[in-house]
């Protein structure tokens, strides 16, 4: 069996590492070479050094194909990926194409495969924020409806697909499977690796002390200087009133701040917000495990906070991970500084017991479950 994996954004590297590790374990046990993975990196995250550190840390094999698409508008980027992925798929002739999450790489991989009549398997299927202004929401909805195998992390995801008519009686080949969450697998595996790891540069003086870890990466926040300014004011205010805030800054966001006079002014007078260089995955895990609270606009980081037993405040107006809100481990604060401050104070005072977190995302063996379904799908052909 040959399956082709499409990745392009850093969170996808983490998810793909889980299934790739299951493949290598299978090969080591069988010695028959019956399962082969072809790894395609679209280059959607175009900073080569930031991508390479993830491959190195996660022990992912180097890509068989690197498309080098880079940045661009949604249409230009997705179109370039579609054209190049089609050529790779024609050359490789995979039995199934595996895509992850909700990026432009996800949609391009699914669309290229579907046009070539190659079955598509979607990991993290069924997630919905119900906000069609988010590019990720468009990507995930379209990918689900192009897919043959829909690997859902939660029962809520299955319910979302059912409401959209999946699976459908006229498409009997479509299967919806609850596998658990590959990010939970990753948190268990790499969390053990990060145990005892020192905090990275920029966290000086915080060893053994409370701090808040912040991440900001969504385009609606980082590409809008007014929106970003509001968030920076919120982080500085929280750092002044409560405890230090550490923010690893993406290079693209740093460039925006350097070009914008208002943002430069906000940053120049920030005394309680530490802006540090981007973190590799293991450093990020170590920081999450040591933080008192996580403040983010990222879908993946919301879950990672939960996996490592930390309360989370989400700087958005919605989330695809509604289970975390229902369980009390996450709160949706929006993007206004005072609302964020109030939410942080509330979560810091909440009585959350990491030892009694509900089992929301499976048993930590989603990667193996996905591989078994893929093999079974091919054997049925």
Mind telling me the catalytic residues?
217
The counts of H helices and E strands in the chain are 16, 13
CB distance 56 to 89 below 8 Å: no
User: Which of left, alpha, beta for 33 (phi over 0: left; psi -120 to 50: alpha)?
Assistant: left
In the 8-state DSSP scheme, what is residue 279?
P
CB distance 275 to 241 below 8 Å: no
- Structure tokens given for 153: 């992390």
How far is residue 297's CA from residue 295's CA, in Å, rounded to a whole number?
Answer: 7
| H helices present in 7-60, as ranges | 10-30, 48-58
CB distance 122 to 92 below 8 Å: no
Distance of CA 355 to the CA centre of its chain: 24
How far is residue 105's CA from residue 5's CA, in Å, rounded to a whole number?
Answer: 11
């Amino acid at each position: 069996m040959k399956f082709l994996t499409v990745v392009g954004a850093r969170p996808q590297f983490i998810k793909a590492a889980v299934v790739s590790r299951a493949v290598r374990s299978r090969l080591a046990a069988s010695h028959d070479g019956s399962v082969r993975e072809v790894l395609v990196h679209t280059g959607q995250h175009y900073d080569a050094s930031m991508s390479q550190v993830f491959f190195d840390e996660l022990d992912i094999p180097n890509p068989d194909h690197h498309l080098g698409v880079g940045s661009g508008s949604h249409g230009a980027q997705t179109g370039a990926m579609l054209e190049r992925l089609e050529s790779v798929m024609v050359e490789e002739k995979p039995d199934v194409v595996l895509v992850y999450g909700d990026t432009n790489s996800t949609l391009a991989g699914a669309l290229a495969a579907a046009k070539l009549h190659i079955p598509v398997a979607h990991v993290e299927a069924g997630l919905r924020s119900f906000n069609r202004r988010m590019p990720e929401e468009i990507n995930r909805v379209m990918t689900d409806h192009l897919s043959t195998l829909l690997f859902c992390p939660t029962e809520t995801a299955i319910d979302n697909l059912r409401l959209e008519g999946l699976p459908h009686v006229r498409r009997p080949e479509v299967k919806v499977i609850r596998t658990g969450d590959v990010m939970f697998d990753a948190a268990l595996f790499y969390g053990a690796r990060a145990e005892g790891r020192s905090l990275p540069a920029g966290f000086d003086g915080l060893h053994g002390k409370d701090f808040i870890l912040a991440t900001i990466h969504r385009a609606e926040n980082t590409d809008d200087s007014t929106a970003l300014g509001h968030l920076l004011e919120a982080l500085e205010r929280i750092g002044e009133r409560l405890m230090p805030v550490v923010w690893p800054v993406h290079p693209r966001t740093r460039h925006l701040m350097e070009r914008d006079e208002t943002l430069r002014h906000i940053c120049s007078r920030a005394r309680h917000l530490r802006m540090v260089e981007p973190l590799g995955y293991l450093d990020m895990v170590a920081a999450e495990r040591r933080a008192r609270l996580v403040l983010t606009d990222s879908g993946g980081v919301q879950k990672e906070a939960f996996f490592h037993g930390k309360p989370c405040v989400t700087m958005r107006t919605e989330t695809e991970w509604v289970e975390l809100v229902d369980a009390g481990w996450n709160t949706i604060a929006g993007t206004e500084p005072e609302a964020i401050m109030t939410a942080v104070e509330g979560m810091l005072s909440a009585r959350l017991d990491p030892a009694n977190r509900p089992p929301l995302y499976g048993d930590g063996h989603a990667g193996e479950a996905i591989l078994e379904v893929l093999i079974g799908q091919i054997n049925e052909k």
